[in-house]
Amino acid sequence: MSEQKLAAELRTEFGKGFARRARAAGQIPAVIYGHGAEPIHINLPGRATTLAVRVSNALLSLDINGEEHLALVKDIQRDPIKQIIEHMDLLTVRMGEKVTVDVSVHVIGEAAIGAVANQEATTVSLEAEATHLPTFVEISIEGRNAGEHVHASDIVLPSGSTLLTDPETLIINISEAASASEEEEEAPAAE
């Protein structure tokens, strides 16, 4: 994944009133923390930041008064109605540093005829280098029959990544598709 470059401004004022004024001016208040350093309070450009964080585990290269900071998005607070970003927490990282992230699981392929795939887990935890974070991992269920299971240990990991989720965690369960007569029998019983 490539890093997104953003220009940020240091902020010296704090509180709800200042945050509202910053958002009205098209900026997003944020804080950078980590590595035992003092937190850095900044404002980010609203539109560019919103586009940059659309992918999971976004890595941001921030230019703060000519000084470069590499940061990973840890938390985003959104307005519950408008879904605009109100505040962001960023974790400072270094080149070559390993970080723990949750990565989504994408299922590809079709199960065998008469079988249905049920996805039990949608994410897995990985440890990967901060500058080479995967956005997702793929699992192929092509031709799998009813009764088969896919566990976390079956995932082919991107190079340089280590699985932190329990290897026995069930990711996908392949079961038999319910026939029309079975569904009709279950309907009266449910009533």
Q: What pLDDT does 124 receive?
A: 92
- The whole-model pTM stands at 0.70
- Ranges of residues in the chain with a pLDDT under 70 are 1-2, 179-191
What are the start-end ranges of the E strands in the chain? 4-10, 27-34, 37-45, 59-64, 67-78, 85-92, 98-108, 115-119, 123-129, 136-140, 149-151, 162-163, 170-176
pLDDT tens, residue by residue, 135-161: 889 988 888 888 889 898 888 888 888
Q: What pLDDT does 170 receive?
A: 92
Q: What pLDDT does 179 receive?
A: 66
Q: What pLDDT does 125 receive?
A: 92
In whole angstroms, give the CA distance from residue 32 to residue 42: 8
Q: In angstroms, what CA-CA distances link 131 with 44, 58, 97, 127, 139?
A: 21, 10, 8, 12, 23
Residue 135 contacts residue 57 (beta carbons within 8 Å): yes
